Amino acid sequence: MKLQRKNRVRALAVGALAVTGALALSACGSDDTSASGGGGAAAKPANVKCAGKGKLLASGSSAQKNAMDVWVQNYAAACKGTEINYQPTGSGAGVTTFLQGQTAFAGSDSALKPDEVTKSQQVCKSGKAVNLPMVGGPIAVGYNVPGVDNLVLDASTLAQIFDAKITNWNDPAIKKLNPGAKLPDLKIQAFHRSDDSGTTDNFTKYLKGAAPAAWQHEPAKTWDGKGGQAASGSSGVSSQVKQTSGAISYFELSYATAGKIPTAKLDTGAKAPVEATVGNASQAIGEAEQVGKGDDLALKLNYTSKAEGAYPITLVTYEIACDKGNKAETLPATKSFLTYIASKDGQAALKELGYAPLPTEIADKVRKTVSTLS
């Protein structure tokens, strides 16, 4: 499938309600713990054509864990003979495991780099790996500052905070953005991901794109800023923010909502600071361009948007699979599951999780590509 002209991606605005709890699924062996406290959506039989039997292994992005939990639960309710085991190990670890041939597909918050596509040809014997976007959403900047429930930051200030150049909450740069706020004389505790993370990649792309003078590190899945403290996974950094006075970090909106963690608004140059919501992220995702070639559906996001209501720290999370050369024993279930999660039913399941479902035109292309996997 050839990508046509660069498309303006239309993202749907949905309510940002968190998924509650790490679901206890017989079809999902996730070992990541959500910041929320119990419950979970009830499984509903998916409108899906089941195929394949046995266990399907996958791993990667923890940003999509909450979506994957519900997808797996719903799929398992319809396809009793297939066990989907998705481990939220982080985007970097998921891609590495996939490139080693240990999993049927990987989840990643960043599209594969050219050298990774080349390496994938060793696993995809007669083809290569392709990026299949499945869901988008905002990366929230969560904080824990006593007495401050309405915080505004901008790209330059964020870059300096996460590069240990601004170290106290009553710093003049923060005061300037928050006139009238009672900012305490309190040390900033900045937390970043310890694992290779697509969320880190997207967050640092924003810092580099919007504040290049303040953030002079190259965007990457591996954290390269100075100072700060590390924690594993989105659940790890969000938990640290919730329990640490003076803390700040970046993670998907669903973790902020689940943990009842306040999030900073961004001064982007628009008339008003922009809040981290699914709708506002959708405004920014609407400026994304398709840059993948052939069956690859990678998107390029605009991290410097100044459009009214456009929240620029966003990510699109991908499933990564071989276009050709998939293992015969896992191909039927892989195609069946990926077709379901890109379907109207699969995408509709995201509306209660704080994610932005795929625009129809992108979902159609994903389903078409999945149908050609071999």
Q: 10 near 286, Cβ under 8 Å?
A: yes
How many angstroms separate the Cα of 75 from the Cα of each of 13, 25, 96, 161? 25, 11, 26, 42
pLDDT of residue 46: 56
pLDDT of residue 11: 34
Position of tokens 């929320």? 36
Residues listed for the chain: 374
- Please provide residue 144's backbone torsions phi and psi, each rounded to the nearest 5 degrees: -135, 90
Q: 372 near 334, Cβ under 8 Å?
A: no
pLDDT of residue 359: 75
pLDDT of residue 44: 52
- Joined together, the tokens standing for residue 289 give 């361009």
Q: 62 near 233, Cβ under 8 Å?
A: yes
Exposed, middle or buried by CB within 10 Å (0-12, 13-18, 19+), for 157? buried
Please report the DSSP string for 24-75 in residue order.
-BTTB------SS-S--PPP---S------EEEEEEE-STTHHHHHHHHHHH
Sheet containing 314-322: order of strands:
82-87, 54-60, 105-108, 314-322, 129-144, 247-252, 189-193, 229-231
List per-residue pLDDT tens for the chain, 374 residues long.
433 333 433 333 333 323 222 222 223 222 333 333 333 444 555 578 899 888 999 999 988 998 999 999 999 999 988 999 999 998 999 999 999 999 999 999 889 999 999 999 999 989 999 999 998 889 999 999 999 999 999 999 999 999 999 999 999 999 999 998 999 999 999 999 999 888 899 999 999 999 999 999 999 989 999 999 999 999 999 999 999 999 999 998 988 988 999 999 999 999 999 999 988 887 787 777 888 888 899 988 888 888 899 899 988 899 999 999 999 999 999 999 999 999 999 998 887 787 877 877 788 999 999 999 99
How many angstroms separate the Cα of 97 from the Cα of each of 57, 190, 258, 316? 10, 29, 29, 20
Class of domain 139-282: alpha beta
Structural domain boundaries in the chain: 139-282
- Joined together, the tokens standing for residue 222 give 């591996």
Task: Say how far apart CA 69 and CA 90 lie, in whole Å.
Answer: 15
pLDDT of residue 358: 80
pLDDT of residue 22: 27
Task: Say how far apart CA 233 and CA 256 lie, in whole Å.
Answer: 14
pLDDT of residue 287: 75
- Joined together, the tokens standing for residue 115 give 């050298």
pLDDT of residue 28: 28
- Please provide residue 237's backbone torsions phi and psi, each rounded to the nearest 5 degrees: -70, -35
What letters, b where the CB count within 10 A reaches 16 and e where it falls short, cover 264-274?
A: bbbbbeeeebb
- Joined together, the tokens standing for residue 198 give 């697509």
pTM of the model: 0.72
Q: Which amino acid is at 26?
A: S
